[in-house]
Structure 1
Amino acid sequence: MDNFGTKNMQNPPLKSNKCLLGTQILFRILATAFTLAATLIILTSKQTVTVFGIEMDARYNYSSAFKFFAFANMIGCALSVLSLFLASVLSHRGLPKNYFYMFLHDLIVMALLLAGCAAATAIGYVGKYGEMHSGWMPICDHVSKFCHKVTTSVMLSYFAVILYLCLVIISANQSRKV
């Protein structure tokens, strides 16, 4: 009877570790997919329209904030692929340092993605609503296709930020336990 109780006490941690590893890998795959999709959408977002006989061209590379957003997502995607590899390799060793390093990695990627999202959101807001005090007129009325692509890209990137926030919480919790 004592053997049965001891066996039950040892199995749940193994099962929860495998579940946590599976959750981490799933979140990292989804974060990679979201950042890759956000990167591809922002890089291909462009539209040319004629307004009052003047040709107006909207591209992501005309704004330094959108360029930063694109590069932040590229770097976030590459680091997501790296973390996917590292999470699967380092989880088998179980060293306390590894959990802390994954926590730092996830925190840095989340901060980078959040900074890129914030910059793109600020410029997107000005593009959508303008800033009358500064004399900036809204442009999304004229280049709606461009604005919709940028909005989609920013939303996908925010989903990646949320996933990385979850990963930061998971890796912080794991590094605290060890």
Structure 2
Amino acid sequence: MGGNKPILTIIMRGTAVVSLLVAAIVMFVSYQKVEAESYIFEAKYNLWTGFMFYAIVSSIGCIYNFGILFIPSGSQLWKTIILLDVILNILVGATSLGAAWQTYFLVKDGNIYVGWAPLCGVVPHFCSKILASLITSTLGFSSTFALLMCTLHVGVDPFLADS
């Protein structure tokens, strides 16, 4: 199993690193302050727990995928990396992205049942940054998920061929 890593693996990990890094940075700097006649309204990512969780997990995903790029292809760590890829995809995809997208729609549309007004009309620049971050991170998640599916197919397929 020695040799170089396939170029597709490097491209997909690189895509994940760049997209998760951009998503985290955009989320961390998302801020808008609006001054109206009688009030000052500030919108920051850390005012919503879903956005904070998402920004932290995106950072972890970026660091993890960047570190994986430096592991040699013949290393015994690759068996553990498959498990870590599954855990990371669950964290990034199922929990972090799900919570962040739901929080974004709550901020964008409001909730008439509890009397929350939509905020994107008040802070459109903030909402644009959040949306860009979510789209970029979804691209990173898709890249890591496709890489995981390819890895599982290659790793599990030999076991299925003998049956």
Same fold (TM over 0.5): yes
1:97-120 Cα shifts (integer Å, max 9, x gaps): x54323212111111111211111
Distance 1:66 1:22 in 2: 33
- Offset at 1:125? 0.3
Asked if 1:28 corresponds to 2:18, the answer is no
Residue-pair matches, total: 156
Aligned identity (percent) is 25
Find 2:137's aligned residue among 157, 164, 167: 157
Root-mean-square deviation (CA, aligned residues, Å) is: 1.9
Distance 1:52 1:68 in 2: 33
SS in 1 for 2:33: strand
Find 1:173's aligned residue among 141, 153, 160: 153
Using the size of structure 1 for normalisation, the TM-score is: 0.81
Q: Stretches of 4+ moved more than 2 A in 1?
A: 98-102
Other-structure match for 1:140: 120
SS in 2 for 1:85: coil
Other-structure match for 1:63: 48
Structure having the higher helix fraction is 1
1:39-68 Cα shifts (integer Å, max 9, x gaps): 110000000002342100000011111110
Distance 2:136 2:31 in 1: 18
Other-structure match for 1:113: 92
Asked if 1:122 corresponds to 2:102, the answer is yes
The correspondence of residues 52-91 of structure 1 with structure 2, limited to 5 A, is 52-86=37-71, 89=72, 91=73
Distance 1:54 1:130 in 2: 20
Q: Answer with 1 or 2: which has the greater Rg.
A: 1
Using the size of structure 2 for normalisation, the TM-score is: 0.88
1:68-126 Cα shifts (integer Å, max 9, x gaps): 0110011001101111122xx0x235x6xx54323212111111111211111111001
Q: Could you list the runs of 5+ residues in structure 1 that have no partner in the other structure?
A: 1-16
